[in-house]
Amino acid sequence: MTLEHLKRLEGEVLNQLDAFGDTHGKLETEGVTVDPHQLLGIEINPRAAAIAELVLWIGYLQWHFRTRGQVMPPQPVLKDFHNIEQRDALLAYERMDYALDASGRAITRWDGKTMKQHPVTGEDVPDEAAQVPLERYVGARKAEWPRADFVVGNPPFIGNKRMRDMLGDGYVEALRNTVKDVPDSVDFVMYWWDHAAELTRAGSLRRFGFITTNSLRQTYNRRVLEHHLNGKPTLALAFAIPDHPWVDSADGAAVRISMAVGTQATRDGLLEVVISEGNAIDGEVSVTFEARTGWIGPDPRYQNGPCFDNFPFPATVAGQQARIRAYAEQLDAHRKRQQAAHRGSGSPPCTTCWRN
């Protein structure tokens, strides 16, 4: 999707160059056209990393033949840019050992996934016989991300309570000891969020956007947002959908997600709230949004309170509507001026319908 948007943007530049009498070929030989090398990635699973790189090339070639017809792409067609790195995006370490007990035997734990049927209740319960060694991460430190202008991601959905089972005690402890400014109570995804927010506030990233579970709004995860949205320099949310239906890629389960885009400095954002959901003909979920602009706080939630229901507007007489509209515009301009003047002063913005 990102590659397609970059190619469209490039198309506009090429059209301008055409108008100035330049040719596409020159850019291609100079290696400045948009291709997968601008899209960097970090993926821990070797197969997923290879597939991600392949998908980029398929997208690139589809775009090429769609827009250039029979013209062959620059040679060699596939280049090994190594732009999708196969590694952990959160934790770097010198080596991983297995933790040993006093007699030198490996300490083990339940593998976090194998279940058996309980002999009495018949319910699925953890199968303690499925054990894996407990890891110890030596020289653990925060993983570095490659230099980039924008980061987008769909990190794994692992809630705080499942982290030890899914990732192992050794990993979770190494991560928590390494990233001290994130509370231990947060979901796994918040480590991506925190790292991207830090880079954005430091000016190394322009924007980032993540799909997360909608638990982003819950108290413990919200603390990470609050830390960055209230900090100096400040992070702002340029866009947010607080609660949206989604299908989990791991097991096809229906889940609820949030999407949020963080950006440098204080600014108004676009909040899109799902107001209705239904089944589309193609089996997808069709969603209707209500959009609002304004400062988005750590708990972006549209509150449809009864405040105006108590004071219904009387019917207007001739000419009143135009006057009301003119006053409303003046009021809106005044609100925007005041918000801009007092942003960052510590007092929450005054809006009737958003909780901040």
Residue 42 makes CB contacts below 8 A (sequence gap 6+) with: 84, 85, 87, 88, 89, 143, 145, 146
Indicate whether 45 belongs to the interface with ligand SAM (CB under 6 A): yes
**Of these, 9, 32, 48, 328, which contacts ligand SAM (CB under 6 A)?**
48
Does 165 help bind ligand SAM (rule: CB under 6 A)?
A: no
Instruction: Give the 3-state secondary structure of residue 311.
Output: coil
What does the angle CA 342 – CA 346 – CA 347 come to, to the nearest 5 degrees?
A: 70
Cβ-based nearer residue to ligand SAM, 84 or 236: 84
Closest to 335 measured CA to CA, from 266, 241, 271, 268: 268
Site track for ligand SAM across 89-108, x = CB under 6 A: xx------------------
Among 156, 159, 183, 245, binds ligand SAM (CB under 6 A): 156
Q: Determine contact, residues 191/90, Cβ cutoff 8 Å.
A: yes
The region of 86-94, 95-103, 127-135, 269-277 touching ligand SAM under the rule CB under 6 A is: 86-94
DSSP characters over 209-262: EEEEEGGGGSHHHHHHHHHHHSSSSPEEEEEEEEEEEEE-TTT--EEEEEEEEE
* By the rule CB under 6 A, 182 interacts with ligand SAM: no
Question: Can residue 88 be called a binding residue for ligand SAM (CB under 6 A)?
Answer: yes
Contact characters 245-284, ligand SAM, x per CB under 6 A: ----x-----------------------------------
Longest dimension (CA), the chain: 92
Among the listed ranges 41-49, 72-80, 120-128, 229-237, the one in contact with ligand SAM (CB under 6 A) is 41-49
Q: In this chain, which of 3, 35, 36, 43 binds ligand SAM, going by CB under 6 A?
A: 43
Cβ closer to ligand SAM: 213 or 264?
213
Q: C-alpha distances in angstroms, 118 versus 110, 126, 130, 131?
A: 16, 9, 15, 18
Binding site for ligand SAM (CB under 6 A): 42-45, 48, 88-90, 154-156, 249
